Amino acid sequence: VQESKTEELDELMEEVNLKTNLWQGSMDWDTLVSDWQGQHFDSLEVEAMEETTAKYHKMVFKIERGLPPNKLAPAFRDKVDAIRGTLPVVQALRNRNLKGRHWEKIQEAIGAEIVREEGFTLGYLLNLKVMEYKDAITQISTEATQEASLEEMLGKVQSKWLNTEFQVLSYKEAKDVFILGGIEEVQVVLEDS
């Protein structure tokens, strides 16, 4: 009899803890999201947002599994999932390789001007409904990263060729005819690029 009461008490404590986590977690989540939405977009720490969102997603899963059906748990899950769904777009828009031409493409894709000044916040972007253009935005961001990689490779090739000297020799006895001499170094640079 004593053991069953202890089990009952443990179950009750678990339910109370889950309900506390549900209410407190929901309030904390709302505060976090409000902070993120008001923060200047360029200062958002996307990795920290992803970690926090994953933590809350796990919390919601545990709450829903441990509590009887109620209205608050699915609402909490929906709020977490909404932000979770925005993270790929936030990550894409925070890509350091995005240049002016990419931002122009993004503006064209969403059909609105993005003013990247003082009021440039996550809330501002959510109001522009940029999440509806997730595929286009992530594609443009991927292109920006690929272009940056190609530009870096091109820069390396250019710097190698800028420092490469060609040895020019007179061809036999002719005064105005020249040939390349000692092209081994040039061949090495050519193969490396």
* Domains in the chain: boundaries: 2-150, 163-193
CA distance 130 to 106: 9
**Tell me, what's the pLDDT at 2?**
64
For residue 142, count other CB atoms closer than 10 A to its CB: 13
- The residue-averaged pLDDT of 69-78 equals 94
Q: What is the mean pLDDT of residues 129-133?
A: 93
Instruction: Please give the model's pTM, rounded to 2 decimal places.
Output: 0.75
pLDDT value of position 1? 56
As given in the structure block, the two tokens for residue 37 are: 């939405």
Instruction: Report residue 56 as tokens.
Output: 């809350």
The percentage of residues in the chain with a pLDDT greater than 90, rounded to a whole number, is 64
**pLDDT score of 167:** 76
How large a percentage of the chain has pLDDT more than 70?
98
Q: What phi-psi label fits residue 189: left (phi over 0), alpha (psi between -120 and 50 degrees) or beta?
A: alpha
Choose between 165 and 109: higher pLDDT: 109
| Secondary element (H or E) of residue 178 | strand 178-181
CA–CA dist 87, 182 (Å, integer): 56
Residue 145, both tokens = 């990263």
CA angle 73, 75, 76 (to 5 degrees): 65
